A and B are shown apart, each in its own frame.
Chain A
Amino acid sequence: MKEIFKADKVVKKFINTVALDQVSVSIPKGSIYGLLGPNGAGKTTLIRIINQITAPDEGTLNFNGEKLRPEHISRIGYLPEERGLYKKMKVGEQALYLAQLKGLSKKEAMSRLKKWFGKFEILDWWNKKVEELSKGMQQKVQFIVTILHEPELLIFDEPFSGFDPINADMLKKEILTLREEGATIIFSTHNMGSVEELCDHITLIDKGRTLIEGDINEIRDRYRSDTYEIGFQGEAEKLRQSLNNHYKLLETSHEGDLQKARIKLLHHTTDNELLSLLIPSVHIISFNEVYPSMNDIFIKVVKDN
């Protein structure tokens, strides 16, 4: 797969700290790439380096196979976490200004803005001052400004903060549409739910170093814990008695008359062996492997480190 962006062994030092220590990422074209990490991990620094707001001390950066250059800025869209607008300026005028700063001509910016404002049904905000808008409304304007110049690479830093669920859902759909249209999206967040839902690749950084990087399914595979969830009817006690010391019953619960149990395989046993052990004792309704949630992986990896 071709990468749209590649950072190799990037180092960025600040006065008292090392913000990024030999961080490498490669972002496949057309992916939704999750940039994860606790606060202060170095995510924002990495994003600023991609945006050429700051320059790295060491390491190489490539955009679409070329060395990253200032001209590439017009092909990147960035929605920062700490985002704002000029409060006293009118919405339309401001959007026009920011679009022109990204290199669009006034005419082009105007026609695209009209289209997007129409799509989001916010055309009547055009002559309002930003300070009259709610935070969610401002976010919509910022989103439009970020994607208006049709960038190939989009960077969203905590995009859902400040949105109500309805608008967050709308934003999610827009992000997926953009990807379908060929854009690559970098997605920086703490919200693991949205990572599982949207991302296909992730990198997890902490204290300036990469902890995991790669395809999200491969990573989840790697962190499988050989745990299965069984839905059954019958007595939980019977199920417990049927297990030998090759299995560990983690927990049981019930929803109505449906019982649930989580069992971990030990000593190289297989799921089939477990099933054959259980079938005689209870009536099995469902049998699933429990994949670790990204949240679990996140916490586990950061803690282990």
Chain B
Amino acid sequence: MNKIGLIIKREYTTRVRKRSFIIMSILGPILFASLMVVPALIAMSEDQEVKRIAVVDSSHLFMDVIPESEYLKFDYLENARLNDIKRTYSTGGYYGVLYISHIVAFEPNSVVFYSDKQPNLATKMHISRAMENYIRDQKLKTYEIENLDNILKSVKTRINIRTIKITETGREKESHTGVAMAVGYIGGFLIYMFIFFFGAQLMRGVIEEKVNRIVEVIVSSVKPFQLMMGKIIGIAMVGLTQFMIWVVTTFLLVTLASTLIFPEMNMSPTEQVISQDIMSSGPVEEYPEAEPEAKSEDMDEIMGFLSSLKDINFALTLGSFIFYFLGGYLLYGALFASIGAAVDNETDTQQFMLPLTIPLILALLVLVNSINNPDSSISFWFSIIPFTSPIVMMGRLPFGVPNWEVGLSMALLVITFIGMTWLAAKIYRTGILMYGKKTSYKEIAKWIRHS
């Protein structure tokens, strides 16, 4: 037992001190943090640019109809000719020219926006929605209905679908599909990446020992099984360390970035990003007349997002991530180790890698399906079958999975990894002392039978 400890310690310390580990530990969080911060930053910087738009309204209907926002200003140019303005708008400091033809009420394609830049969707929606509403109101007014304004106000309804999940205990939980999908996908994908990355590291470590011929020295002191387990556990701890560094540093980086870049909002990083997204999409859905109302609805939506983030229960997600990472890694790790033992150099590994690669890639494909459809039967089966469950179950967990399914999936995973380790140990034991011969599947089958 003490000897396994020594092996784990060596595997761990030599790997953690490697330059590649340090680089990964630094680059990973920067990448993740920028994935969160940059979109928010982009959304903000777009909004901060004030766009002045020249309006040439030959219908003379829309004077001061389109509401100005903080970053969108409209100048209604009277008696200006479109062709002149089109040439001079940019020297006049305009972002673009909005031309409204006089037949606008009957011909939807008669509004044109001229600019040397591509206006974003929000700007276009802002303009078209304001005009649509105005035309509709004007058309309604021709019917000469009394109290039209009040009637209009009272018929205006806005529907905002809240999804509420009824748990087994009967408790109702507000859920947010987008957040669950993101958390599920990121979790599943990370496990996929970690299994491949650290599995390959393990395999290379075994090949290194074999090629260096140090393995014979070591197995005269410890049992091959101890050596194999020591390596597997040591590298698992490296993986966990890397993951923890990523989580903590990403959190710190995002907090730091958000206090530096968005000092006005004193929210936690994820909340920050999400609220930024909502804010930037705000103008798209706003009705010009109902601005205060819409704002409060936006706030509701933000609160919904936030509460659903809290509902996702990060402790549980993190806990199951660690379980499935370890389970999946141990299951594949032993097999990666036995491949390393069976070959003499890295180029020979390819033929044996295929049976490991196929279920992993399949799991990744099913993961995409199961974040869209977490309760489909394909998601169910792939989250139970041990070779794919670590990845697929991570995709399903944020949506809530019945306890018995999680339990069954975990139990099967544990049983299978014990079985696989036992099998792999047989291959490993024979393989590490075999040199020169190119190994085939047939040969490996013999090793398993004879040891």
Contact = CB atoms under 8 A, between A and B. Distances in A.
Interface in A1-39: 15
Interface residues of B, number: 24
A83 interface: yes
Interface stretch (A98-106, A178-186, A228-236): A98-106
Contact of A80 (B7, B220, B446): B220
B6 A97 contact: yes
B161 interface: no
A84 B212 contact: yes
B221 interface: yes
A101 B6 contact: yes
B216 A83 contact: yes
A84 B213 contact: yes
Contacts of A102: 221
B251 to A, nearest CB: 33
Contacts of B447: 15
A88 B220 contact: no
B3 A82 contact: no
A298 interface: no
Interface string A65-105: 00000100100101010111111110000000110111100
Contacts of B218: 98, 101
Given A53-B433, A100-B6, A80 B14 contact: no
Given A53-B219, A53-B220, 9 more contacts: A51-B220, A83-B213, A83-B216, A84-B212, A84-B213, A87-B208, A98-B217, A101-B3, A101-B218
A188 interface: no
Interface in A124-144: 142
B217 to A, nearest CB: 6
Query: Would you call the interface of chain A mostly helix, strand, loop, or mixed?
Result: loop
B361 to A, nearest CB: 32
Contact of A97 (B10, B213, B223, B433): B10
A263 to B, nearest CB: 48
A59 B405 CA distance: 52
B314 interface: no
Contact of A87 (B212, B221, B450): B212
A113 to B, nearest CB: 16
Interface of A: 15, 48, 51-54, 70, 73, 76, 78, 80, 82-89, 97-98, 100-103, 142, 145
B221 A101 contact: yes
Given A53-B433, A100-B6, A73 B217 contact: no
A100 B7 CA distance: 10
Nearest to B226: A101
Nearest to B429: A54
A19 B173 CA distance: 69
Nearest to A149: B221
A267 to B, nearest CB: 52
B433 A15 contact: no
A78 B433 contact: no
Given A15-B446, A73-B221, A86 B3 contact: no
Contacts of A85: 212, 214
Contacts of A73: 220-221
A82 B220 CA distance: 13
A184 B451 CA distance: 32
A78 B217 contact: yes
B433 to A, nearest CB: 7
B435 interface: yes
B222 interface: yes
Contacts of A142: 217
B212 A86 contact: yes
A145 to B, nearest CB: 7
Contacts of B10: 97
A87 B212 CA distance: 8
Given A15-B450, A84-B214, A88-B14, A98 B433 contact: no
Given A15-B450, A88-B14, A97-B10, A78 B214 contact: no
Interface string B1-40: 0010011001000100000000000000000000000000
